[in-house]
Amino acid sequence: MIDWTLLCGSLLLTVAVWWGATGIIAWLIGRSVDTYPSLLRGTLALSIIALAAVLVSRDLQSVAGAAVAFLGAIGIWAGIEVSFLTGRITGLTPRASAKANGYGWRHAIEAIRVILWHELLIIGVVALIAALTIDADNRLALGTLLLLWLMRSSAKLNLFLGVRNLGEAFLPQHLAHLLRYMQHRRMNLLFPFSIALGGLIVWWLGSHALQADSAFAGAAYGILTTLAALAVLEHILMVLPLQSERFWRWSLANRQGASRP
């Protein structure tokens, strides 16, 4: 029998954490760069606590265990995002010869270069969590990070190939050079495949959530299904004549006060 209360609870938790964490990070990044050292220290502490949460919950097959693992994974991902948005872990310095909004494999390589350390950090963190939880009873943290990595990679590719909304408001001034590796277009050829893949992931995870044989499985798959659906929504917002920034307007109000480091 489907536990709709459990599934609705998983949905509400995931949406609240997704919306709240995105907004809080955007607000913190929009503050003066003088606050970044404190922000990075606080984020490091949060990441350590989040890693501890993942380790504590690795063998907890319960609703509480699922929630702790999910929150731990989000805390770790938040640390990765803050390290990037503060400009501390990004990539190699852009070449002076790099063309703005170019095409071709040379431009693609340049795009990878400028976010290289960030991508390697993600790979390293995911590999670490995999090593720590691959044989655990509760692998929701790993599943969460893999899903975030997959869908974020898809979003980056679509931004590179071109979409209507680039989300410029979320990008701090010291990362404005990344806009040269994004395209303003109504859509690109990869986009439909990204939506199709995302839809298949939502369907697969959702079917497991509806057929779950335990409260833990129902909560875990419910969280992942919602997270995948939110990722698909983020993709759709890239091509709609609607700015996604309006959903986080409260967290972007301080952007004009940010300055270059």
DSSP-assigned beta bridge partners for residue 163: 184
- What are the tens digits of pLDDT across the range 34-65? 999 999 999 999 999 999 999 999 999 999 99
| 44: nearest Cα among 102, 89, 70, 83 | 83
Q: Which pLDDT tens digit goes with each residue over 235-261?
A: 999 999 887 778 888 888 887 544 333
pLDDT value at 227 more than 60: yes
260 and 173 in contact (C-beta within 8 Å)?
Answer: yes
pLDDT at 58: 95
* Domain carrying residue 240: 4-257
pTM above 0.85, yes or no: yes
CB-count burial class (<10 Å; 0-12, 13-18, 19+) for 108? middle
Residue 59 CA to residue 69 CA, distance in Å, equals: 10
- What does R_g of the chain's alpha carbons equal in angstroms? 19
- How many domains would you assign to the chain? 1
DSSP letter assigned to residue 136: S
pLDDT at 46 (0 to 100)? 97
In DSSP terms, which residues pair with 184 in a beta bridge? 163
Predicted confidence band of residue 1 (pLDDT cuts 50, 70, 90): low
pLDDT at residue 137, rounded to an integer: 95
- The identity of residue 119, as a single letter, is E
Asked whether residue 97 carries a pLDDT value surpassing 80, the answer given is no
Q: List, for residues 148-174, the tens digit of each pLDDT value.
A: 999 999 999 999 999 999 988 899 999
- The pLDDT of residue 259 is 39
Q: What is the pLDDT of residue 207?
A: 96
Taking only the tens place, the pLDDT of each residue in 188-219 is: 999 999 999 999 999 999 999 999 999 999 99
The per-residue pLDDT for 3 is: 82
Q: How many CB atoms lie within 10 A of CB 80?
A: 22
Comparing 105 with 5, which gets the higher pLDDT? Answer: 5
Q: Is 79 a residue whose pLDDT tops 50?
A: yes
Whether pLDDT at 105 is above 90:
no
* Mean pLDDT for the stretch of residues 175-192: 93
Band of the pLDDT at 70, cuts 50, 70, 90?
Answer: very high
pLDDT of residue 261: 35
